[in-house]
Amino acid sequence: MRAKDFIPKPYQNTKIEGKVTWSSPSNIALVKYWGKREPQLPENPSISFTLSNCKTITTLGYSKRENDGKFSFEVVLDGEKKDAFKPKIETFFNRVEAYLPFLKDYHFKIETQNTFPHSSGIASSASGMSALALCLMSIEQTLVAPHDTPGGGQGAYDESYFFKKASFLARLGSGSACRSVEGPLVVWGTHDKIVGSSDLFGVTYPFEVHPNFSNYQDVILLVDKGEKQVSSSVGHNLMRDHPFARERFHQAHNHLTALKEIFKEGNLEAFIGIVEREALTLHAMMMTSMPYFILMKPNTLKIINAIWSFRAKTGLKVCFTLDAGANVHVLFPENETKQVLEFINNELVAYCENGNYICDQIGYGAKKL
């Protein structure tokens, strides 16, 4: 599909006011997206586990108003008005207006809450922007006429188009948000071995996945809950002139190709090798950019070394991955939960800020509430 395929025909229906709620999860990339071009397009493909417990719940209230050529909205987080979030939403609305031409015809009240604690070190942009995009899609679904909907009927978009466009819109708010719409494995970025893959939106991984990866677990160790010294947006932009960028993008393509066989065969040792290498490559790109920066903390490295030692001693298939920050995602198959949680509580919790960590597992995407 092309971007212009998401521009709707003139709306045939009207809606004066209403309210819609969606719950959308965060995700953790296995092959990392690092480096982008306008408008919010990835320089390399990525694949992620959709999470289950770490999610954003957004209620979007809307009421018809006179179109004055401006956006009208308010943002409420956990019952408190948050004007600090308005510039990000304004930027998002400007990017998506061509695809949602009703935006200036309504006043919106965006009420949002996260199931994970504030300042927990888990990026809420993926879950938050995908939840908002899904709410907006639900509104548009009431405005379109049946004969204007791609594959639709009875006044509603068909499910495939609905989620593709929601992912497309979410991407324009936060790149990784396009991977939070569906699950449990989502690919974003064109890859010649992945059917239907696109730079424009995320797609559910279309091939066989071995039972070894069912209900895969993710424990997020909160090493540092402070604000990052360098934003992800700045980090992505630094890839434009990075001396190792071309090889990095090539590596990501190769890793995704390799994962296709790994997921089919259930080879956990090979999975570990790719996932950990991806995490370390991500941070290597940060450390070798100009200007260079380090987001890992001393306790991040202590956790990594402890995981390596534990895995060598026990033979368990536990591994780590990292986002663009200091916190560590501990990944392991469901049948190892008891032993790994004992290890975390006995050894790793000492490296977490205030002993905090979050238990999660892979999930199946967003839900309308």
Q: DSSP assignment of 48-88, as one string?
A: EEEEEEEEEEEEEEEEE----SS-EEEEEETTEE-GGGHHH
For residue 145, the model assigns a pLDDT of 64
- Neighbour tally for 264: CB within 10 Å: 12
For the record, the structure tokens of 26 come out as: 């965060």
* pTM (two decimals): 0.94
For residue 1, the model assigns a pLDDT of 86
How much is the mean pLDDT over the chain? 93
For residue 123, the model assigns a pLDDT of 64
Contact 176, 133 (CB under 8 A): no
For residue 232, the model assigns a pLDDT of 86
Domain 216-361 sits in CATH at 3.30.70.890
Radius of gyration of the chain (CA): 21
Where residue 154 falls among pLDDT bands split at 50, 70, 90? very low
* Residue 153 clears pLDDT 70, i.e. is over it: no
Where residue 78 falls among pLDDT bands split at 50, 70, 90? confident
Choose between 208 and 157: higher pLDDT: 208
Q: Of the candidates 283, 163, 236, 216, which has an alpha carbon nearest to the alpha carbon of residue 28?
A: 216
For the range 339-346, what are the long-range contacts, defined as Cβ-Cβ under 8 Å and sequence gap of 24 or more? 339/314, 340/217, 340/219, 340/316, 341/219, 343/310, 343/318, 344/219, 344/221
Domain parsing of the chain, residue ranges: 3-207, 216-361
3-state secondary structure labels for all residues of 242-253: CCCHHHHHHHHH
- What's the angle, vertex CA 212, arms to CA 251 and CA 255, rounded to 5? 5
Contact 24, 180 (CB under 8 A): yes
Domain 3-207 sits in CATH at 3.30.230.10
Helices within 266-367 (DSSP H only): 268-287, 298-314, 337-343
Average pLDDT rounded to a whole number, residues 142-169: 76
- Neighbour tally for 116: CB within 10 Å: 20
pLDDT in tens, 297-314: 999 999 999 999 999 999
For residue 346, the model assigns a pLDDT of 97
pLDDT in tens, 225-273: 777 778 888 999 999 999 999 999 999 999 999 999 999 999 999 999 9
| pLDDT above 90: percentage of residues in the chain | 85
| pLDDT above 70: percentage of residues in the chain | 95
Whole-angstrom Cα distance, residue 64 to residue 6? 23
Whole-angstrom Cα distance, residue 254 to residue 318? 23
